[in-house]
Structures are given as C-alpha cells and as structure tokens.
Amino acid sequence: MPTTYSDLISDVRKSIRELSLTELKRRLDDKVPMVLLDVREKEEYRAGFIPGAISIPRGFLEIQVEQRLPDKSAHIVAYCAGGTRSALAAKTLQELGYTNVESANPGFSRWKDMAYPVEMPPSLTDAQRDRYSRHLLLPEVGEAGQAKLLASKVLLLGAGGLGSPAALYLAAAGVGTIGLVDADVVDNSNLQRQILHATSRVGKPKVDSAEIAIRDLNPDVKVVKFQERVDSGNVDRIFEQFDIIVDGCDNFPTRYLVNDASVFKKKPVVHGSIFRFEGQVTTFMPGVGPCYRCLYPEPPPPHLAPSCQEAGVLGILPGTVGMIQATEAVKLILGKGTPLIGRLLTYDSLRMKFGELKLRRDKNCPVCGESPTITSYIDYEGFCTLG
C-alpha cells in the first residue's frame, strides 16, 4: 500500500495511460474523435481551456461524470494544469467502468507555454453567474448556453395572454433581447390572465406596461417595443432583427401573414393558441417541417372559431401554453432537446390531459411546397373572409 503522496501518484501513473501534449495536439489537428475532459477548477477553466474541452472539476467528477459522459466506451482524454489531478481523474474513471481513458501529461500550463490553441469561455459577470447559477449547473446549458441566451433575440407577437408568461420566463432565463409587438392598451378585463400587467397600469400601452415588468424582473434584458399591429407593410422591418418568433396572435389574418413572412425570411415560429379550456403549441421550422398553411390550408368559418372575447377563456390556460412556448424558444436557442417540429401538442385543462398529433409537410403547400404559388404578401383579411 502507498505510504506517501508520492507513492500514491507513482502507483496511479503506473495504472493509467498517459498522453504527451504533442500527440494530443496531433490528434486535435487530425480531428481524431475523443472527449477532452478538463478537471481543473472552474476559475482555472475560465482563464482558458483546450478547444472543445468540457469542464468537470476533479472534486465533482464522481458526482457528475456519468450524467455528462454516459458512454463508458468513449475515448476520454483528461487534463489539468500539470498532469497530477488528471492522472487521479483517469484512475477514478477506470474504477467507474470507463474503458478508454488517458491523462495528458504535462497539462494545460505547458500546453499554453507551447503556444498551442486556447479557447476562452463566454464572459459572464459575477452578478450574472449568481443570477443564472441554476442554469450553469445544467450540463445542457452551462456558461456557453447562458451566453447564447444572453445573445439571443426573441420576438413576441402579442403582450397578452400567451405573451405574458412567455415574456416573463424568457426574461428570467436571460434572453438578452425581447421584442414586443402589441398596439393595445391595458384594460381591466386583461388582468384575469395577462400577468405582465397590473391594475396600476390600466390604460397604459401594453408594450410599455410589459417593459416595466420585464425590466423589474431582469435588468439584463433589452426590450424592443413595437406599438403597432403586424401587417404586410411592417412585418419585414419587425422580423429582420430577431432570431425566433413566438406567436401569440389571436386572429387568422395575422397568423397567415406571420407564417408567410417566417417562410420567406426563414425564421422559426413557436405557435400557440388557446380556446376556452384548451390550448395547442407547435414549432414551425421553415425548410425542416410543415408550416401553418400545411396544418390549416384555409381558415375556418368565423362562427366555428370565435375569439376569446366572444367565447371566454380560463385565465390560467394561457399560462401553461405560454410557458410551453417559452420552453420551445429556449430549446431552439440552446440547440438542445427535441422541438415540436412536425408535432402539435394539445392540452385539455378540464381533463388535465396532453395529446400529440403528427404533422406532415404538404408538398402542395402554396408557400412551403415544391411549387409555391404564394411568393409575396397577399390580402390576408380578404383571404380569411373568403375562408
């Protein structure tokens, strides 16, 4: 049994495979498949790391590694500052059943001295690390993902029932720029479901009221306001500066306009709708899945699709649907999970039941089909009246 630290490290090195930095650099240049595992502390990692490396500090290795690296046959190369912690990490990984592990020796300090490539992590302030600390603990988000959220730009069509929860949760998540499109003012009847607003702001433009709520929740967020209705004349100007559209519109002419604009401009749309006690959510990704016209080639007759003002709506319902829309937007920004592309999620609040319908792209769709016949904006009011 080892009796000293030196004996322990000596025995560990005999039981693992070590890799020179020159060989590691060659493999990186040749794009040899491997997982680079940085076992230094977070503060060290933030000062620079070998390109492509993932960070699991040595003290958290046993706790996190099986979640972060579930494939125990993967080729893993661990490194630290000098080669000692990575040797201990490699030994631990072997004991946990990982079968193809190496330790880089010496470590990152020498790598940097040799002027080999170094990547810098996203720069978050101490206040941001504190605010988003629960995100940073998630391997699927981390500092890189949070930086993506802070750099992203999401446009909300409507600051009402669906836009309210979506805006609040996107702001809380750290989406850096949120656009709000709404021409209305806050009314007492809105407050039963539109949680962005408050009694003290009745009579204010909804975009101004929403800005107050968002800035109070998260001052990191830039709010871009459009106190106007989306139409064929302004849709390009409004859409062009945003990455993702969250559609909370409540009328069919605007939905068809938004669909056509998103296809023309290749912007993903997270679509939500509500009616009485039921809601729906799907994600339209131009060129990947179906569009709104594939789902609804023509609008229903007005008497079959009354508005919430005419038919009523459970005040809690838009909270559920809007939060799902926000979740979809965050997934798109992070590039994680499986978005609702080609799937329509349905929600019945009375039965507390979710369902899913498969959606297919229509090759004869007049906008996204093989031979589109709609290539510019049309008279959407007229189209929906005819429908």
Residue type, 56: I
Q: Are 90 and 35 in contact (CB under 8 A)?
A: no
Query: Which CA distances in Å does 199 have to 192, 212, 248, 251, 286?
Result: 11, 13, 22, 26, 40
pLDDT of residue 308: 58
Contact 145, 135 (CB under 8 A): yes
Which tokens is 64 given? Answer: 């996190």
Determine the pLDDT at residue 306: 60
Predicted pLDDT of residue 167: 98
State which fold the 152-386 domain adopts.
Rossmann fold (3.40.50)
Cα(307)–Cα(328) distance, integer angstroms: 25
Is 291 known to be catalytic? no
pLDDT digit string, tens, across residues 10-55: 999 999 999 999 999 999 999 999 999 999 999 999 899 999 999 9
Domain with CATH 3.40.50.720 in the chain: 152-386
Residue ranges, the chain, pLDDT below 50: none
What does the alpha-carbon distance between residue 289 and residue 362 come to, in Å, rounded to a whole number? Answer: 9
What is the Cα–Cα distance from 298 to 334, expressed in whole angstroms? 34
Q: What is the CATH number of domain 5-113?
A: 3.40.250.10
Q: What per-residue confidence (pLDDT) applies to 309?
A: 64
What pLDDT, on a 0 to 100 scale, did the predictor assign at position 299?
84
Both structure tokens of 102:
């190496």
DSSP letter assigned to residue 121: P
DSSP secondary structure string for all residues of 362-384: -TT-TTTSSS-S--S---HHHHH
- Using alpha carbons, select from 248, 238, 253, 259 the residue that is nearest to residue 179: 238
Which residues, 6+ apart, have CB-to-CB distance to 151 below 8 Å? 176
Phi, psi of 192 (to 5 degrees): -70, -20
> Mapping DSSP to helix (H, G, I), strand (E, B) and coil, where does residue 67 land?
helix
Q: Which residue intervals of the chain bear CATH 3.40.250.10?
A: 5-113
Catalytically annotated residue among 80, 308, 365, 368:
308
Q: Which amino acid is at 244?
A: I
- What distance separates the 2 farthest-apart alpha carbons in the chain? 88
Contact at 8 Å (CB) between 89 and 103? yes
Residue 313 to residue 350: CA distance in whole angstroms: 12
What is the reported pTM?
0.82
Predicted pLDDT at 201: 98
CB 209 within 8 A of CB 164: no
Q: pLDDT value at position 303?
A: 54
